[in-house]
């Protein structure tokens, strides 16, 4: 099965889209598993509030605008990483502890992985939206997702501060997961920015190679 991409106008309805049905089923099962298995229900709900809002927006706008298969793949991977982190809190994530022990890190880096994934996995969906729904020029579709990723990362850090320090101070330490790093917020923003830049460069490179191959094949057959 070939995934549709942002540059491919083909969109398969949900009723016939086996890939999207598979992602939906697996995610719902995994989501319920993290809810049942979490040891900190209050933190789970805090971490998943934005997930609920995000999924709600995707569902409400699906008939008006449907993303490509590759976009939904990126979204599925990112949300899966997030809910897995929320099950334990990012600072106490077992996979992060395994990385810490194996590579002899000084801290649990699972939160860094998710922040990097925020840029790496969600910059492409933004490009999909900008060039197909908003009809922005191609160069805007490359640049704007990087700028928005950095802006949203900054906004998220402010939201984290407000939630942890003002709204739910009893959950502050678990929710922030800074692990004593005074530069945690800045590093998180940098990781998201780096992820967005990297996926943009990768997609640009792959697209250029694909165009060259297509042109070469066309000229050869003609």
Q: Give per-residue pLDDT as tens, 79-106.
A: 999 999 989 888 889 999 999 999 999 8
35-76 pLDDT, tens digit each? 999 988 888 988 898 899 999 999 999 988 999 999 999 999
pTM confidence score: 0.88
HSE of 197, CA atoms in CB hemisphere, 13 A: 7
Lowest mean pLDDT among 4-8, 31-35, 95-99, 174-178: 174-178
Give residues with Cβ within 8 angstroms of 161, minimum separation 6: 176, 185
Pairs from 49-56 (Cβ < 8 Å, separation ≥ 24):
51/79, 51/82, 51/83, 51/86, 54/79, 55/79
Report the distance separating Cα 192 and Cα 139, nearest Å: 20
Give residues with Cβ within 8 angstroms of 211, minimum separation 6: none
Report the distance separating Cα 177 and Cα 163, nearest Å: 13
Cβ atoms of residues 85 and 93 within 8 Å: yes
Report the distance separating Cα 207 and Cα 110, nearest Å: 31
Q: Is the model more confident about 205 or about 159? A: 205
Crossing angle of the two packed helices 110-132 and 138-162, in degrees rounded to 10: 140
- What pLDDT, on a 0 to 100 scale, did the predictor assign at position 184? 80
């Amino acid at each position: 099965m070939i995934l549709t991409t942002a540059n491919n106008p083909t969109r398969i309805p949900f009723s016939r889209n086996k890939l999207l049905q598979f992602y939906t089923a697996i995610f719902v099962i995994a989501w319920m598993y993290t809810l049942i298995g979490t040891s900190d229900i209050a933190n789970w709900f805090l971490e998943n509030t934005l997930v609920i809002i995000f999924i709600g927006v995707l569902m409400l706008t699906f008939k008006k605008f449907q993303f490509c298969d590759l976009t939904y793949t990126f979204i599925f991977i990112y949300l899966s990483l997030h809910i897995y982190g929320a099950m334990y809190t990012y600072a106490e994530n077992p996979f992060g502890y395994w990385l810490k022990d194996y590579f002899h890190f000084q801290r649990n880096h699972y939160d860094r992985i998710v922040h990097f994934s925020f840029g790496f996995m969600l910059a492409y969906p933004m490009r999909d939206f900008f060039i197909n729904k908003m009809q922005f020029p191609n160069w805007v579709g490359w640049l704007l997702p990087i700028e928005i990723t950095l802006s949203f990362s900054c906004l998220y850090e402010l939201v984290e501060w407000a939630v942890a320090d003002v709204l739910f101070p009893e959950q502050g330490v678990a929710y922030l997961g800074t692990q004593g790093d005074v530069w945690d917020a800045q590093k998180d923003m940098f990781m998201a920015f780096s992820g967005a830049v990297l996926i943009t460069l990768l997609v640009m490179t792959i697209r250029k190679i694909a165009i060259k191959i297509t042109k070469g094949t066309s000229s050869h057959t003609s």
